[in-house]
Structure 1
Amino acid sequence: MSDSHVLSEPAILYFGTPVVLIGTRNEDRTDNIAPISSAFWLGWRCVIGIAASSKTTENLIRTGECVLNLPSRDEAAAVDRIACTTGRNPVPSAKRVRGYVFEPNKFERAGLTPIAALTVDAPRVRECPVQMESVLAAQHGIGDDTPELRGTIRIFELRVVRIHVRSDILMVDDRNRIDPDKWNPLIMSFQKFYGLSAGQVHESRLAGIPETAYRSPDVDRARAPQGT
């Protein structure tokens, strides 16, 4: 078979990642949510990348707390309504040139409902099937080796301390396992929204490994009083 690959230079490399609505608290005690799609999980740790100038970054550094709300494909329209908004006023220049506008009440604009978290001072999103209360564990810059990027993006490592899961996406006989055939996360791929295709496309050898083999000590730590 001949090689059909060609050299390419895509401006972005969003090949497909889950959308996350990050809930944080503003300094005036109002709620803020921001959609991102630079996120991945290892155990009960989540790593996110977000613009250094965003209101979410400011809130996360100040409070050290957030909620990672995962929308399904059913919430795509709500996410899109706040896709080009920011809680920063004035709007940062990098976002202004991309058409962003200041929005002080993103929940109302999106048509979503804030609800209280149990362990952190940040909003959950009622409509999202998965909500992960999290605390800030570490942070650093990315691209700091390039003058044009230095100081523009922050990477946050978040430790999950509570997880709320809508019961209809859980395994029938195990409340601690999400059924991947029932969970249809909202996916961002090259600036467009997608859901997962119906059903598995292929069996996975990894599925033969019990999920408990990946259990993190952070799960037990999350049960202890916060701050320990």
Structure 2
Amino acid sequence: METAPNRSAEAGSHLTITPSILYFGTPVALLTTENADGTANLAPVSSAWALGQTVVLGLGIHGQTGTNLASRPDLVINLPQPAQWAAVERLGRLTGRPSATGQDQRRTRYEPDKFGAAGLRAQRSQVVRPPRVAECPIQLEARAAKVGTAADGDFLIVEARVLKVHAAPHLVIPGTQHIEPAAWSPLIYNFRHYFGLGPELGHSGISETPRADRAAPLATAR
């Protein structure tokens, strides 16, 4: 039986638009860095992607996180789950930079204790100085290898080398070093709205965890 053509993919059927942002479904991360006085700064980011053991981050050029990494490259990339979106949103309205001015000052307020303000707990890291976020199921201790400016000059691009990975036990396939894909759902920032993942649709041919049936007990036991 022939199916109707997908009209959304036909030539000439698209609309040309100019969106204000391009967050077309990106994972949220909470970054912990070290302030000059040894305290911790905690900030949400929605521009992050991984390649091998390197994570590339996009940061605001005037934020405290970028200032910290330029002098103290240690950081932790904490990955929250969908249920933690409200804590992320609370952090988005705060800044760790006392001298925030102009537009940043109108949209945010200075808060030295971001962990407390967000209702999160600091957990000691193993190989870097900034703490981990205890409530985040996946935590990546890392070190910034390169901090540069984006092509438009409005953002910082950070290349961070991951040194140690921590995962909640229910996310790890027993007896392996693998995250169970069906048990892990990242918090997704989709055009400034928060989402989780839907049901699995399939897996790539190079997946090392292809058995979806194995994950069923884990997914229902959470």
Q: Same fold (TM over 0.5)?
A: yes
Contact 1:169-1:182 within 8 A present in 2 as well: yes
Correspondences of 1:51-200 after superposition (within 5 Å): 51-97=60-106, 99-143=107-151, 149-150=152-153, 152-174=154-176, 176-197=177-198, 199-200=199-200
Please state how far the C-alpha of 1:211 moved relative to its aligned partner.
Answer: 4.2
Q: Determine which of 20, 25, 29 is the counterpart of 2:34.
A: 25
* Equivalent-residue separation in structure 1 for 2:197 and 2:101 (angstroms): 34
Task: Report the secondary structure of 1:40's partner residue.
Answer: strand
Q: Deviations over 1:63-108 (max 9, x none)?
A: 11100000001211111111111001122323124x1111111000
Q: Contact 1:22 / 1:69 at 8 angstroms: preserved in 2?
A: yes
Kept in 1: contact 2:59–2:157 (CA 8 A) = yes
Match of 1:12 in 2: 21
Equivalent in the alignment of 2:219: none
Q: Report the alpha carbon displacement of residue 31 of structure 1 after superposing the two structures with TM.
A: 1.3
Question: Per-residue deviation at 1:139?
Answer: 2.1
Contact 2:36/2:68 (CA < 8 Å) preserved in 1? yes
Q: Contact (CA 8 Å) 2:172, 2:180: kept in 1 or not?
A: yes
Q: C-alpha distance in 2, partners of 1:178/1:32?
A: 28
Q: 1:86 to 1:134 in 2, by over 3 A?
A: same
Residue 67 of structure 1 aligns to which amino acid in structure 2? Answer: V
The one-letter code matched in structure 2 to 1:82 is: L
Check whether the contact 1:53–1:92 (CA below 8 A) recurs between aligned residues. Answer: no
Unmatched 5+ stretches in structure 2: 1-6, 210-222
Count of residues in correspondence between the two structures: 200
Aligned to 1:46, what secondary structure does the other structure show?
A: strand
RMSD of aligned residue pairs (Cα, Å):
1.5
**Letter of the structure 2 residue corresponding to residue 23 of structure 1:** T
Identity percentage of aligned residues: 38
Deviating runs (4+, > 2 A) in structure 1? 1-4
Q: 1:48 aligns with which of 57, 69, 72?
A: 57
For structure 1, the residue ranges without an aligned partner over 5 or more in a row are: 144-148, 213-228
Q: Larger Rg: 1 or 2?
A: 2
Retained in 1: the 8 A contact 2:30–2:79?
Answer: yes
| Structure 1 counterpart of 2:14, one-letter code | H
| Aligned AA (1:86) | T
The normalised TM-score by structure 2 is 0.85
Q: Distance in 1 between matches of 2:17 and 2:157?
A: 27
- TM-score, reference length from structure 1: 0.83
Contact 2:69 2:147 in 1 (8 A): no
